[in-house]
Amino acid sequence: MNFKTFASASLFAVLGLGVIAAQAATSPTEDSRVMQYRYGDRLDVQKVLSVMDDPSNACGVVNTRMDYLDSQGRHQSVEYRTYATGGCHES
């Protein structure tokens, strides 16, 4: 392995650790009634009331919250991660 390959691998490793630290720093919603969605969770959605991204003008992965009514008419909320493009382009 030459120096250039080693330097590239080290750079990607450091950047990868930075991404993990940044994701850990994002705090979930403090409202205990909001379910944190995990891949494979089954949702009982009868009607979507609202879908809101974090208020930041971010470009990339952000927290999104969906409020909905289930099949029994109860108000439910779920939070999940999505890719926002709000801050990606200059107007």
Averaged pLDDT for residues 25-29: 47
User: Of the ranges 21-30, 31-40, 52-61, which one carries the lowest mean pLDDT score?
Assistant: 21-30
The verdict on residue 89 lying in a domain is: no
- Is 90 within a domain? no
How far apart CA 22 and CA 44 sit, in angstroms, is 31
Domain range for residue 13?
A: 3-84
CB 82 within 8 Å of CB 60: no
Which CATH number goes with the domain that contains 67?
2.30.140.50
What total of structural domains would you count in the chain? 1
In-domain check, residue 66:
yes
The predicted-structure confidence for 4-24, as pLDDT tens digits, reads as follows: 776 666 766 656 655 555 554
91 occurs within a structural domain: no
**Distance (Å) of CA 80 to CA 29, 47, 64, 84, 87:** 10, 18, 5, 12, 19
**Reported pTM:** 0.57
Q: Is residue 55 assigned to a domain?
A: yes
What are the E-state strand segments in the chain?
34-36, 47-53, 60-69, 75-84
